Structure 1
Amino acid sequence: MQLNKLKSSSFSALVIVSILSTSACVMKNLPRNMNLTAFDPHQKEFNCQYEMNQESRGDDDAEQWFREGLAVTSYDLWPDDRDHKKAAILWTKASEKNHWGAMLNLATLYLRGAGVEHNTELAVQMVEKAMQLGVPRAFDLMGTYHMNGTGVQQDATRAYAFWAYAATKGNSDALAHLGGKLKASYDDPKGQFWRNKDVAMKMLECGYAQENGKAAYLLGQQLNLDGEYERALHILQDGIKFGSEESAVKLFANFDHGKELVGRFLDHDRAERYLAIAHMIHLNPDLRIPNLDKVLPLPPAVLPYWDGKKKSLIDGAKPVKTISLDDIKPSPASLREGRAHIPDGFVLPDEPQGGHLVQHLHTDAVIGGYWLAQLRKPVTPRQVAWNAAQLPMRYEIGEAFDKIPEGLTKDDGVFRFHYLGTPVPQALEAKYAPDWRVPQGVMREVPMPARELHSTGLLPAPATGIWHGSVDPGHPLAKVFNQWYRQSYVEEGQAFPDPRDRGLDIFPKDIQWRWLDQANRPQPSGRKEITIRNFSYLEAIKKGA
């Protein structure tokens, strides 16, 4: 008996050791525990890669669910109006079809407990799924998890190793972060910064080429410290276009105090607009404002008209999408007359406000709104057809319902009025199919121009307005360049933007620009009197005057 007990205890111990060993082996193989090369802050070389070239396009249905989730959680909505629960459902469906963007967004919801229960382990698993797809951004996020101890053991060494790996795969956030750490004038490992300016600048340039706002800000800031004022100013202006609040604050301070970066050019009017834009980006970090030069050009250009409202300022700088006015058709209800008329752009709600109400004939409406006359139990074909032909009719509170219509008799049964509610704004989707970014608040729609204008990047702009650029899909950098926000406000006779100025190996002759019209044509004069001094602004910048 004693021997059997010993054998049983030994067997149990072996089972436990085996389970622990198997568990440890499984954990070791998880992406969160992958083998990594340690971050070398003194590396000598760095080769720029573009992360978009490594991001695969997912299933069309998954992409649509992903976009719908973005729309219902847009920063353009009031916090209480954001539907994180619906987004979680949509992004879960999309992630099941390997949509990596949905995976990373869902991870954020799990961390915040927004729309789902707080669960750090599920957040880590979502990021791991994206890592298995080779998504550079996922490795960057896993680095942040290791730095903060989010769902994994806190480990700064592994955090930097993940960030370094993400940077080699071209992730612009990792490039901006590490570039900022390596541009110091001396080493301080405890302070987490090092002296490796050559590599730092290459990283920041690579992030800037991919239109990362943080990279643009850090690069512009460093060039400003180095006395390269002209390029620094243009890069910071670009940083704002990429959604950098810090760049907007930087230019606000420089124009407001007339510092060296802006050639000691004191301009409170420009400063006021930069501050307003900084506030708007703070409220909506998803903003891209490629048409910034339309509402806030750099000197010596004269400031265009502005009504003083932050929204109109940011709307003028947003990317636009043209739509045909034929796509927006009035609803059939708007064409009705009399009591049956419903204003264009409005529809009756799916459920009446306050619940369903039924009133009999010969009574007064107890609530104002639209009521539908119906026979209670239609039996004959004539009665069924009569019910189907009825339209909602508006009655004010206390107003008597109409008498029994001609053709109906007492034999036709009980006649009642059903309350349908008051009109609500018609959803955009019910009128036409808008770009998903419109309800998200990062794009606006404008009427299609009456004429088609096209130009290559080699020629001066043939007309003033917003231009959208693209390259042939077969171009090696088509995936990087052909973006929905690839727009620029260019005045007639000016040169189109040259992507080589941002480090992209794309020649102007390869770019086709399409005119999107002026989109809110600026007024001839500004909101305030603006005086432009008669001197060469660029010369002042070069001299640092």
Structure 2
Amino acid sequence: MSMYRASLLRWPPLVLVIVLAIFSLTACNMINLPRNTNLKAFDPHRAEFTCKYEADANPPITSEAEALFQQGLAATSYDLWPDKRDYVNAAELWKKAADLGHWKAAMNLAGLYEQGLGVPRDTEQAVLIIEGLMKRGVPAAFDKMGTYHQRGIGVKGDTSRAYAFWQLAADMGSAAAQAYLGPKLDAAYDNPSQGFWGNSKVGLKMLECGFAQGNGNAAFELALSLENTDGNTAKEYARALRIYHDGVKFGSKESARNLSVSFDEIEPLTGNTIDTARADRYRELRAALELNPDLRFPNLDKVLPLPPAELPTWDGQRDTLVDAAKGLVIAPKVQPTPGSQRTGRAHFPQGHVLRRPVHPLGAVEVNALVPYSGYWMPRLYAVHRKHEEAWEHAQVPQRYDKGEAFEAMDRSSMGEYAGIAPRTVWHFLGVAVAATVAVHPRVAQGIARMTRAPELLLRCRGGMPCPRTGVWFGQAGKAHPLAALYDRWDRMAYVTKDQSFPMPRDQYIDLDPHDVHWTWLDNANQPRSNGIVDVTLTDLHGEQGKRKA
């Protein structure tokens, strides 16, 4: 008999019953935790895989929660120096967003608890957050729980359970799990000790599904597999090349690396032709992704179209390349600011507001000279009657320069009060300064560029030639069954005149191109008089300008 069991026998019967009951309930509760879910064993030789999209399974996100989430991303952007990233603020923002049901914010918050960034390191809290998301059916949470079991984060390390969780996550639609398991199954033979198995049929289906969801890792692994297939033809190499290129758009630095190497050498993938100009541009984009993995390049074809298209002239600056290839955020329509519609002394410059003086002056008599340049408000020395009060409410700030004389104001029509005519004085309100313009969170993260909305509204359906060169924004529309998958903020493409819009089926999305509505966002590169085309950026005023070196 063990010492543990012997010690139990010495306890009073009632106490023993209570202790055993508590132990049983605790054990039962532990078994029922999502981390201890009874899983189907990982089957690397499964016969089939049905592609599902995580966008269809994820809970809806409100605009309020999304705004908080984006602010947290901006506070921790890779574009900031590490010591400038505010993880404490991000944790607070993501906690608020998570409380509003934002599953991505909850995932990021769990990541902070894993690493102890902005919050005390607490792996149990991280696991609890992920378990909460698992209960809501979030595929990415099952993928993360697999990682926790693999690494022993907050749970006992167990590689078998890790693979079982990843398998479940992939079946639920997790693009990350599909991109991870796909290449492990896409082998010619089994080698479990090295972590791969010979089940290319299922492995490729997983990669195609992850690629359809815009996963950069899936794009890279799929292109790599297609490139290395025995007996490839020029057509098949061209297909692999397009997928690598899309991988760069999805933020895959590995895809950018492979293309930079291939264009620098004679390889079938790139038509056995050396093209150092293209190699250099892919190399710059890879370097940018090393610095900021959150970057995406939906408008890559603006600066780096695939051959046989000619490359536009580039000034050699990485920022030009990156900014032109980024997604666009449309600046809100400029609304008149208070006072900008007024004339004369009452006019305020557009986009300016009053900055109050640190030490405001008292009332200044009308017969005195203006002591400070700025805006002044006429007031009555004393208000006794309703029509005097109404006059005061109708006044607006007026601009005077130091040394000027205040304009005289006739108050005789107001009549006298107690034998005294109304008396005017002036109060200094301050100076006009440019208002702080809110930066869109994606722009603050460095992953998007702000642009104006074109004055010309131009829309087209996919599956037809493009009537105008520029960046186009595509959507299937809320009513379409694939809207959750297809309609993303960065679903953009740079298309030249008479060129066809992107075909969804080229990205393994079973969507009729005619169901996609494309909206023109301008931002076309500009040709010179001699026909050479320069990479240009459109600023917020609609003026085209080449980024100078």
Question: TM-score w.r.t. structure 1 length?
Answer: 0.79
Contact persistence 2:525–2:533 (CA under 8 A) = no
Q: Structure 1's 98 and 265: CA in aligned 2 closer, same or farther, altered over 3 A?
A: same
Instruction: Kindly state the Cα deviation for residue 346 of structure 1 after the two structures are TM-superposed.
Output: 7.0
Match of 2:538 in 1: none
In 2, Cα distance between equivalents of 1:73 and 1:461: 38
Q: Structure 1's 289 and 345: CA in aligned 2 closer, same or farther, altered over 3 A?
A: farther
Is 1:24 matched with 2:27? yes
Q: Structure 1's 403 and 54: CA in aligned 2 closer, same or farther, altered over 3 A?
A: same
Q: Percent identity?
A: 45
Contact persistence 1:340–1:394 (CA under 8 A) = no
Match of 1:481 in 2: 486
In 1, Cα distance between equivalents of 2:399 and 2:266: 64
Instruction: Kindly state the Cα deviation for residue 282 of structure 1 after the two structures are TM-superposed.
Output: 2.1
Is 1:309 matched with 2:317? yes
Match of 1:53 in 2: 56
Q: Structure 1's 6 and 160: CA in aligned 2 closer, same or farther, altered over 3 A?
A: closer
Cα deviation code 1:66-93 (max 9, x no counterpart): 2332333333334333332222122212
Contact persistence 2:469–2:524 (CA under 8 A) = no
Match of 2:436 in 1: 426
Match of 2:334 in 1: 328
1:525 paired residue among 525, 532, 544 = 532
Q: Structure 1's 425 and 151: CA in aligned 2 closer, same or farther, altered over 3 A?
A: farther
Match of 2:215 in 1: 212
1:161 paired residue among 131, 148, 164 = 164
Q: Structure 1's 80 and 416: CA in aligned 2 closer, same or farther, altered over 3 A?
A: farther
Instruction: Kindly state the Cα deviation for residue 53 of structure 1 after the two structures are TM-superposed.
Output: 1.1
In 2, Cα distance between equivalents of 1:189 and 1:97: 43
What amino acid does structure 2 have at the position aligned with 1:287? L
Is 1:319 matched with 2:339? no
For the aligned residue pairs, the C-alpha RMSD in angstroms reads 3.9
The number of residue pairs the alignment matches comes to 500
In 1, Cα distance between equivalents of 2:143 and 2:428: 61
In 2, Cα distance between equivalents of 1:423 and 1:471: 43
What amino acid does structure 1 have at the position aligned with 2:438? L
Match of 2:119 in 1: 116
Give 1:164-175 correspondences, 5 Å limit. 164-175=167-178
2:512 paired residue among 507, 516, 524 = 507
Instruction: Kindly state the Cα deviation for residue 330 of structure 1 after the two structures are TM-superposed.
Output: 6.4
Is 1:224 matched with 2:230? no
What amino acid does structure 2 have at the position aligned with 1:493? D
1:193 paired residue among 191, 196, 214 = 196
Cα deviation code 1:404-440 (max 9, x no counterpart): 9999xxxx9xx999999x96871326xxxx5x43333
Is 1:100 matched with 2:107? no
Q: Structure 1's 404 and 510: CA in aligned 2 closer, same or farther, altered over 3 A?
A: closer
Q: Structure 1's 389 and 7: CA in aligned 2 closer, same or farther, altered over 3 A?
A: farther
What amino acid does structure 1 have at the position aligned with 2:472? W
Instruction: Kindly state the Cα deviation for residue 403 of structure 1 after the two structures are TM-superposed.
Output: 12
Secondary structure of the 1:514 match is strand
Contact persistence 2:470–2:525 (CA under 8 A) = no
Contact persistence 2:191–2:197 (CA under 8 A) = yes
Q: Structure 1's 323 and 425: CA in aligned 2 closer, same or farther, altered over 3 A?
A: closer
What amino acid does structure 1 have at the position aligned with 2:532? S
Cα deviation code 1:471-506 (max 9, x no counterpart): 243222121112211111111111111111221111
Instruction: Kindly state the Cα deviation for residue 450 of structure 1 after the two structures are TM-superposed.
Output: 2.8
What amino acid does structure 2 have at the position aligned with 1:498? M
What amino acid does structure 2 have at the position aligned with 1:457? G
In 1, Cα distance between equivalents of 2:343 and 2:141: 57
What amino acid does structure 1 have at the position aligned with 2:259? L
What amino acid does structure 1 have at the position aligned with 2:53? Y
Is 1:180 matched with 2:186? no
What amino acid does structure 2 have at the position aligned with 1:464? T
Instruction: Kindly state the Cα deviation for residue 192 of structure 1 after the two structures are TM-superposed.
Output: 1.3
Contact persistence 2:354–2:430 (CA under 8 A) = no
Question: TM-score w.r.t. structure 2 length?
Answer: 0.78
In 2, Cα distance between equivalents of 1:83 and 1:264: 48
If you compute each CA radius of gyration, which structure gives the higher value, 1 or 2?
Answer: 2
Is 1:247 matched with 2:255? yes
In 2, Cα distance between equivalents of 1:339 and 1:72: 41
Cα deviation code 1:107-157 (max 9, x no counterpart): 011112222111111111111111111011110011111111111111111
Contact persistence 1:316–1:520 (CA under 8 A) = no
Contact persistence 1:208–1:502 (CA under 8 A) = yes
What amino acid does structure 2 have at the position aligned with 1:25? C
Match of 2:79 in 1: 76
Q: Structure 1's 6 and 232: CA in aligned 2 closer, same or farther, altered over 3 A?
A: closer
Q: Structure 1's 527 and 321: CA in aligned 2 closer, same or farther, altered over 3 A?
A: closer
Task: Please list every run of 5 or more consecutive structure 2 residues that lacks an aligned counterpart in the other structure.
Answer: 1-7, 364-371, 410-422, 536-549
2:460 paired residue among 441, 455, 477 = 455
In 2, Cα distance between equivalents of 1:16 and 1:402: 90
Is 1:287 matched with 2:295? yes
In 1, Cα distance between equivalents of 2:124 and 2:354: 44
Is 1:496 matched with 2:496? no
Larger deviation, residues 233-242 vs 108-117: 108-117
Match of 1:540 in 2: none
In 1, Cα distance between equivalents of 2:239 and 2:519: 27
In 2, Cα distance between equivalents of 1:143 and 1:394: 69
Contact persistence 2:339–2:346 (CA under 8 A) = yes
In 1, Cα distance between equivalents of 2:123 and 2:345: 56
Secondary structure of the 1:428 match is coil
Contact persistence 1:370–1:392 (CA under 8 A) = no
Cα deviation code 1:435-466 (max 9, x no counterpart): x4333332223222232222222321111111
Contact persistence 2:260–2:283 (CA under 8 A) = yes
Secondary structure of the 2:133 match is helix
What amino acid does structure 2 have at the position aligned with 1:252? S
Q: Structure 1's 440 and 347: CA in aligned 2 closer, same or farther, altered over 3 A?
A: farther
Contact persistence 1:241–1:292 (CA under 8 A) = yes
In 2, Cα distance between equivalents of 1:73 and 1:446: 23
In 2, Cα distance between equivalents of 1:346 and 1:112: 43
In 1, Cα distance between equivalents of 2:348 and 2:430: 15
In 1, Cα distance between equivalents of 2:132 and 2:55: 18
Q: Structure 1's 393 and 38: CA in aligned 2 closer, same or farther, altered over 3 A?
A: farther
What amino acid does structure 2 have at the position aligned with 1:96? D
Match of 1:533 in 2: none
Give 1:409-420 correspondences, 5 Å limit. none
Contact persistence 1:146–1:153 (CA under 8 A) = yes
Contact persistence 1:306–1:526 (CA under 8 A) = no
Is 1:464 matched with 2:474? no
In 1, Cα distance between equivalents of 2:352 and 2:478: 41
In 2, Cα distance between equivalents of 1:348 and 1:19: 66
In 1, Cα distance between equivalents of 2:129 and 2:123: 10
What amino acid does structure 2 have at the position aligned with 1:298? L
Task: Please list every run of 5 or more consecutive structure 1 residues that lacks an aligned counterpart in the other structure.
Answer: 362-368, 529-545
Secondary structure of the 2:251 match is coil
What amino acid does structure 2 have at the position aligned with 1:158? R
What amino acid does structure 2 have at the position aligned with 1:70? L
Instruction: Kindly state the Cα deviation for residue 393 of structure 1 after the two structures are TM-superposed.
Output: 10
Instruction: Kindly state the Cα deviation for residue 347 of structure 1 after the two structures are TM-superposed.
Output: 6.4
Give 1:310-389 correspondences, 5 Å limit. 310-323=318-331, 327-329=333-335, 331=337
Contact persistence 1:357–1:419 (CA under 8 A) = no
Higher relative contact order (CA 8 A, sep 6+): 1
Secondary structure of the 1:47 match is coil
Match of 1:233 in 2: 241
